[in-house]
A and B are shown apart, each in its own frame.
Chain A
């Protein structure tokens, strides 16, 4: 079994990622599904990461954290964030099946990013429902 999204949907998603994230100074933003497939990804050209491995690990990581949440009686942990020296990673669930990963540096504030993620979440939801 497989699924697909129309080119128009993909274009719209890419536009959101570009406007809300890349133009904000985020280094890399990736929308994946919970199986670890990449739906859409953008980066600033300076990132040399292996994006497929990143997606596989992010999906696994998010799945593990969700399972932990259930064990301690939480529906889910709303904030998933890893802080590094130069790069930080933020994860956010989009509906039940998708995950938005943003990689950003010191110049971007976490608070502002979270705001953008929340906005993008609503916009992407609308796209999937249209």
Chain B
């Protein structure tokens, strides 16, 4: 839940990157950190294992600048995607304002995407949030792998499996190269701000 500080004229909103383990959530934030270094003055916080898997979360504060006189600060988080970390994953979702679901386009990860999306729905429900109402963007990541001959799910299939009911905006992306990473972020930020702005005067 975003906090509006009327005194400092500041809004803080929380956007969480969700999705199956090794899907590329952390890579999204790393790319954003490198690309928008002028708006991000701090180091990225990463609580991870020795093997570079997210253990708790990654955190990146992003200064959006002023909207209607308010300084908007977006807090970007990732969750740990591994199934066993559900307790910490749920903690990161607390107070979430917008979600990017990073799906892994590799054919072998088909099932993992579906399970993770269902898990997102369940975890949101524990905070009385509905996946159909919350600002949500889908990202079909690792599209670059098709050039290396690795079997990738066609976008139509991904849409059908993950987005047929949600009908959320979706992007094909490569977090590693950076394709559509900024686009994904801009979309979720604008949706999140729009949902907040209804009440922001």
User: Would B2 and A36 count as touching, CB distance under 8 A?
Assistant: no
Measured CB to CB, the nearest residue on chain B to A71 is: B87
- Determine if B24 is an interface residue (Cβ-Cβ < 8 Å): no
Say whether B57 faces chain A, with CB atoms less than 8 Å apart.
yes
Most chain B C-beta atoms within 10 Å of own C-beta, residue among A6, A33, A56: A56
Is A64 at the interface (CB under 8 A from chain B)? yes
Q: Are A35 and B6 CB-contacts (below 8 A) given A3-B1, A52-B42, A53-B61?
A: no
B196, CB-defined interface residue at 8 Å: yes
Mark interface residues in B148-168 (1 if CB within 8 Å of A CB, else 0): 000000000000000000000
Taken together as a complex, chains A and B put the C-alpha atoms of A6 and B75 apart, in Å, by: 23
Q: Give A56's nearest chain B residue, CB to CB.
A: B59
In the complex, the answer to whether B1 meets A57 with C-beta atoms within 8 Å is: no
Q: Scoring A residues 26 to 62 as 1 if CB is less than 8 Å from chain B, else 0, what string do you get?
A: 0000000111111100000000001011001101100
| A3 & B91 in contact (Cβ 8 Å cutoff) | no
A residues 1-28 touching B (CB-CB < 8 Å): 1-7, 10-11
B95 near A33 with CB under 8 A, answer: yes
Kindly name the residue among B4, B7, B56 whose own CB sees the greatest number of chain A CB atoms within 10 A: B7
Given the known inter-chain contacts A10-B7, A52-B61, please indicate yes or no for A2 contacting B196, CB distance below 8 A: yes
Give, as a whole number of angstroms, the nearest-CB distance from A121 to chain B. Answer: 20
Given contacts A56-B45, A64-B88, contact A3 B4 (CB under 8 A): yes
Given contacts A10-B5, A52-B61, A52-B73, contact A63 B91 (CB under 8 A): yes
The answer, yes or no, to whether B18 is at the interface (CB within 8 Å) is no
Cα distance A9–B73 when bound, in Å?
Answer: 21
Taking a contact as CB atoms under 8 Å apart, the answer to whether A33 and B61 are in contact is: no
| Interface check B142, CB cutoff 8 A | no
- Give every chain A residue within 8 A of B45 (Cβ-Cβ): 53, 56-57
Interchain CB contact (< 8 A) of A56 among B2, B3, B75: B75
Of B47, B57, B95, B200, most buried by chain A (CB within 10 Å of CB) is B95
Closest to A38 in B: B12
Chain B interface residues (CB < 8 Å from chain A): 1-7, 11-14, 42-43, 45, 47, 56-57, 59, 61, 73, 75, 77, 87-88, 91-92, 94-97, 195-196, 199-200
In the assembled complex, 27 residue pairs joining A and B whose CB atoms fall closer than 8 Å, in A order, are: A1-B2, A1-B97, A1-B195, A2-B3, A4-B4, A4-B5, A11-B7, A33-B1, A33-B95, A34-B94, A35-B3, A35-B94, A36-B14, A36-B75, A37-B12, A39-B5, A50-B42, A52-B73, A56-B45, A56-B77, A57-B45, A57-B59, A59-B94, A60-B57, A60-B91, A67-B87, A67-B91
Question: Which residues of A are at the interface with B, using a C-beta cutoff of 8 A?
Answer: 1-7, 10-11, 33-39, 50, 52-53, 56-57, 59-60, 63-64, 67
